[in-house]
């Protein structure tokens, strides 16, 4: 995903939260949903970090960036 795609997500109301993987990822997703947020996750390898990806070069790295926005269904 290119940087402009992240900008597109932000223009659609998505807020970039933090990176997570493993058990903490599912815990974060569940917590955000319980708080009334929609959750979108994007593999960190697909995001444009201006070439700085050394922390995520392991093929087995399943780290994702969590994006949230208030649920449209609940805000109506």
Residues 64, 32 contacting (CB under 8 angstroms): no
Predicted confidence (pLDDT) per residue in 5-40, tens digit: 888 899 999 999 999 999 999 999 999 999 999 999
Mean pLDDT of all residues in the chain?
Answer: 83
Confidence band of 49 (pLDDT split at 50, 70, 90): low
Please indicate whether residue 7 or residue 54 has the higher confidence score (pLDDT). 7
The pLDDT of residue 6: 84
pTM of the complete model beyond 0.85: no
Ordered by start, the domain boundaries in the chain are 3-70
Residues 71, 25 contacting (CB under 8 angstroms): no
Please indicate whether residue 42 or residue 74 has the higher confidence score (pLDDT). 42
């Amino acid at each position: 995903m290119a940087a402009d795609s992240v900008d597109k997500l932000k223009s659609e109301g998505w807020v970039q939260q933090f990176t997570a993987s493993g058990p903490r990822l599912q815990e974060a997703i569940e917590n955000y949903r319980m708080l009334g947020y929609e959750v979108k996750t994007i593999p960190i390898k697909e995001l444009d970090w201006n070439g700085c990806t050394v922390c995520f070069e392991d093929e087995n790295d399943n780290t994702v960036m969590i994006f949230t926005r208030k649920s449209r269904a609940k805000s109506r």
